Amino acid sequence: MDENASARLTRRALTVAHRVSLFLAMLVICLPGIWIVLSSLRPTVEIMAKPPVWIPQEVSLDAYIAMFSGIGKGGIPVLDYFRNSLIISVTSTVIAVAIGMAGGYAFARYRFRGKSGMFLGLMLTRTVPGIALSLPLFFLYVRLGIIDTHIGMILAYVALNVPFTIWLIDGFFRQVPKDLAEAAQIDGCTRWQAFWQVEFPLARPGIASAAIFAFLTCWNEFALASQLTRSVNSKTLPVGLLDYTAEFTIDWRGMCALAVVMIIPALTLTYIVQKHLVGGLTSGAVKG
Amino acid sequence: MKGLKPSAPFLLLLPAIVVLAAVVVLPLILSLYSSFTPFRLTRPETFFVFIGFRNYLSILSNADFWWAFGRTVLLLTIALNLEMLLGLGLAMLVEKATRGQRILRTLMMFPMMFSPILVGFQFKFMFNDNIGLVNNALQSLGITQDAIPWLIEGHLAFIAITIAEIWSSTSIFAILILAGLLAMPKEPIEAARVDGCTPWQTFRYVTWPFVMPFAYIAMTIRSLDVARAYDIVKIITDGGPAGRTELLWTLVGRTAYSDARMGLANAMAYFSILLSIAFTVYFYNKLAAARAQIGAEW
């Protein structure tokens, strides 16, 4: 065996090892999701079968039909939950992004005293665990009479999202060269006009990603929602999942079906923004 | 205070400050106050009884609390370190791939789209001792005859929770570290190779210092949201069996809403807030340091 042949062999072995480990990693990542989708399509008997049935014998959409057919027919008020989730998420996202744009612009374009302290301070408000915040909020909301309302949830979610939208939008505005806005101002724009006509359009994809990220945070949030919502008036989908659990039993099939309904919008939106999101988070990482 | 006009950045930041003050800071002040009272939801008049540090003293002598505290720190330490390592490994695997990088990158982000509560249900389902995927697979492959009581035995339940937590958050590290790897200039690596570095040395002294700020960004983002483990634990075991997987956050929730002892729960909540703040400040400072180092070197 000469050296060339053995080198070639090592290289091939490395390639195969790389492929195999990549495949295994992706399998571990995807399998739980695939399993959920599969379980939502199988009859409960098959899910509970012992020994397990690996290959589905019959596939049906019964779980989805039951879910949407309303209370009393094995369904839960999923349409109400869906509407609540949508209203709360969209409204709080719009407000959070508006506030985040103002704040992000301030951090990206101005120098002022206590800037980094301020930035850290805003971030720290995000670290308060939802469950810890829910105690005083619960008390306050009961006093103000906005427990179990959309307004209450929207307020809470705006506050939850503002620190992060500021971080992201700050990153996107930093990627827009300062000179462009200055050139526009020299050409006679006011700062306001320069912002809307030059900087905003350039940062728009990034701001859109910040919006989607905020939307997903609201869409998926559970710790606050589980304490601040009580009924179909404001219960969101993550809290609605609990409707499938009883004291000792869980309707796995129905739950898997609702999980799929929840995950589809999240999946689509995340796919759209993934590239911009990473750009916004890491901008300024290389040059501080 | 000179001049009548407040500065522009202050005005721009005002809405954010107002919202956060109203929804986060004000409630926190309220809860700080109530942590000094024996407040119970069922007896509103107790809100105005001042008992000083008695809640805090009773927490300090409460073994359950310290177990939960220790368990939370342990979970975070194990999970964050493993997520970092696995994320780094995953990012490097994907970066090496010659074909299908786009698809791989999308697949890699898959767990990020799952709400923590979904992750909880999914793993509760998979680790179910009777019908779960994990036991079914182990039994079908003949690795074990008996059903492993994943969520019924204390240590196994803790392992199951750690796995769920790692599964859901590794991709944040992977995606950000991958961004770092892709943004990295190729010349230093080539130079290192020409100079005779081993692959390990190249990684340790060239790649890693460059990727580090990206890893710290991921750490900072994660530490902003460490309490999302609450959702997962709440669903998978709800602190059980017999309190063996009780974390700080589930303990706070139980004391506040099941036992209705708000004052005591608020005192506990302050420990969890301080824990989160400690994590975040630590990684934020690391991030700043790593950025400064990169700025000097490249």
Same domain, A251 and A180: yes
Return phi, psi of residue B148, to 5°: -80, 125
pLDDT at position B61 over 70: yes
Identity of the residue in A129, A252, A279 whose CB atom sits nearest the CB atom of B249: A129
Q: Is A288 part of any domain? A: no
Same domain, A30 and A161: no
Domain carrying residue A102: 68-282
B2 pLDDT tier (thresholds 50, 70, 90): very low
Same domain, A35 and A135: no
Same domain, A78 and A40: no
pTM of the model: 0.85
**Mean pLDDT of successive 10-residue segments in chain A (288 residues)?**
82 89 89 86 78 75 75 69 90 94 89 84 86 86 88 92 88 83 86 86 83 87 87 86 75 84 83 71 56
| pLDDT tens digits, B219-263 | 888 887 777 788 888 888 887 787 888 888 888 888 888 888 888
Same domain, A90 and A232: yes
3-state secondary structure of B160: helix
Same domain, A26 and A129: no
Same domain, A30 and A130: no
Please give, one letter per residue, the 3-state secondary structure of A159-199.
HHHHHHHHHHHHHHHHHCCHHHHHHHHHCCCCHHHHHHHHH
Q: Which of A38, A60, A82 is the last residue of a domain?
A: A60
Same domain, A235 and A106: yes
Q: Is A287 part of any domain? A: no
Same domain, A107 and A233: yes
User: B211: closest CA among B237, B180, B240?
Assistant: B180
Nearest residue in B to A46, CA atom: B131
- Preferred mutation among B40, B88, B122 to probe A, highest tally of A CBs within 10 A: B122
- Preferred mutation among A128, A146, A173, A244 to probe B, highest tally of B CBs within 10 A: A128
Q: In the predicted model, what is the mean pLDDT of residues B267-280? A: 87
| pLDDT tens digits, B179-200 | 888 888 888 888 888 888 888 8
Q: Long-range contacts made by residues A216-219, C-beta under 8 angstroms, separation at least 24? A: A216/A266, A216/A269, A216/A270, A216/B113, A217/A157, A217/A160, A217/A161, A217/A164, A218/A85, A218/A88, A218/A89, A218/A92, A218/A93, A218/A157, A218/A160, A218/A161, A219/A85, A219/A89, A219/A262, A219/A265, A219/A266, A219/B115
Query: Looking at CA atoms only, how far is residue A149 from chain B in angstroms?
Result: 15
Identity of the residue in A18, A128, A163 whose CB atom sits nearest the CB atom of B28: A128
Contacts of A52 in chain B (CB under 8 A): 131, 136, 139-140
Interface pTM (ipTM) of the complex?
A: 0.82
Same domain, A16 and A116: no
B166 pLDDT tier (thresholds 50, 70, 90): very high
Domain range list for chain B? 18-297
Domain total for chain A? 2
| pLDDT tens digits, A254-287 | 888 888 888 888 888 877 776 676 766 666 555 4
Do A243 and A172 touch, CB atoms closer than 8 A?
Answer: no
Do B184 and B214 touch, CB atoms closer than 8 A?
Answer: no
Q: Does A241 touch chain B (CB under 8 A)?
A: yes
State the architecture of B18-297 in CATH terms. Orthogonal Bundle (1.10)
Does the beta-carbon distance from B28 to A123 stay under 8 Å? no
Same domain, A55 and A153: no
Same domain, A113 and A32: no
Nearest residue in A to B258, CA atom: A227
Domain CATH for A78? 1.10.3720.10
